[in-house]
A and B are shown apart, each in its own frame.
Chain A
């Protein structure tokens, strides 16, 4: 197992994203409360940096005119064409079975954000 420190937790205010680099790969760190998620920072559609996008809530609805925001989960919306990805799983909301961005395991150690790879 390889453990690499990415940044201090306090560098990522709650509800924000931070672009970092891991062995020449672009990674976006996403903070939600005490948790930090790490995704590959490249949209599989046309290659935009997801870290330049919007961190927001998924919209829920059961019927036309019904608008709700699912605040419990965060999604990243691509800065270019609005493709949306679940921050925790990396799965693309419009095609979760076939489309996802890579997810990295994270830990918080002594106030530092650590990515753990095999």
Chain B
């Protein structure tokens, strides 16, 4: 048996452990286009011409070279030659079948909604959504989808939610966490009302358009950028709470994706304390922020924090004060992928493990 066969056999043994009695929902899988050419049939004529005439190739790459090409696992390149996460058949076999994943939330990361030309960006969002629905979400019953919206122009964002948000496989609108704006601010409220009305989760995912700014400034290295965008996740959550979004949208649900979760207890403690002393400024915040967080927010596990003593992670989850807050995610096909077999420490009790792997996502996304 060669080295590769040994490795595959070992991984398959781990995958079979995952399937024993626990259903698995992966709340962050990346699927999307290989190039702008995939979107051309879905763009109106005038924007097809624009792409051809302008030489538009897609969203410019990040300022930060990743530690791997395309930020992808080295083993996630399909034989078809397409980019990782853009070949559905390969993703089905390599990820969904292999790990026995029952449901996956697909998050296309294409920052069309950040293009300076808002009309072109809106057309790309619509084309991307139509492409994903037709070629991904409708092609595999395990897949549920997120849609892109041109958030900087809330009226257009609402139109897009109205247009495709009612599709039975669409469960979320997806936004990048570092947006140059804090999403709780009042101008964005029509978007959240539209999402609430359609029953869609608002997913806020790690990443953003450069320069992405963590607290304090623009980082130098990818390592800083990768770590510090957790701060942006905190800031977006605090913005939703302090701006009173949930007073206007009492049924809105928000998922903070790939921004970490071990910081949550400390942030809840700090925000609760500060809220007690600053209530005169935000009198619409009638509940303790931590209570609102537990009702309205969920957090994906990947990239899971890895303390030297894994039992400490269990303590952190206990400090969150609820067992329904975490959603398991792999982030396939990215390099910082979390294995369903190994990522969660063994010390996590079985009922909580089952909630994180499955039940929390089924409830939060109302998956059937």
Contacts and interface: CB of A to CB of B under 8 A. Distances in A.
Contact of B284 (A61, A81, A83): A61
B283 A83 contact: no
Contacts of A68: 283
A64 B244 contact: yes
B247 interface: yes
Contacts of A61: 283-284
Nearest to A84: B279
Contacts of A81: 276-277
Interface range, A side: 10 to 19
B283 A94 contact: no
B275 A64 contact: no
Nearest to A99: B276
B275 A94 contact: yes
Contact of B276 (A64, A66, A83): A83
Contact of B280 (A64, A65, A82, A95): A82
A3 B243 CA distance: 49
Contacts of B186: 64-65
A94 B288 contact: yes
A72 interface: no
Contacts of A73: none
A53 to B, nearest CB: 12
B277 A63 contact: no
A63 B247 contact: yes
Contacts of B279: 59, 82, 84, 93-94
Contacts of B280: 59, 77, 82, 84
B278 interface: yes
A98 B247 CA distance: 24
A60 interface: yes
B246 to A, nearest CB: 10
A66 B284 CA distance: 8
B9 interface: no
Contact of A63 (B244, B275, B276, B278): B244
Interface in A37-96: 59-68, 77, 81-84, 93-95
A62 B245 CA distance: 12
A95 B247 CA distance: 19
B347 interface: no
Q: Among B247, B275, B277, which residue has the most Cβ atoms of chain A within 10 A?
A: B277
Interface of A: 59-68, 77, 81-84, 93-95
Interface of B: 186, 243-245, 247-248, 275-280, 282-284, 288
Given A84-B279, A94-B279, A94-B288, 6 more contacts: A60-B283, A62-B247, A63-B247, A63-B284, A64-B186, A64-B245
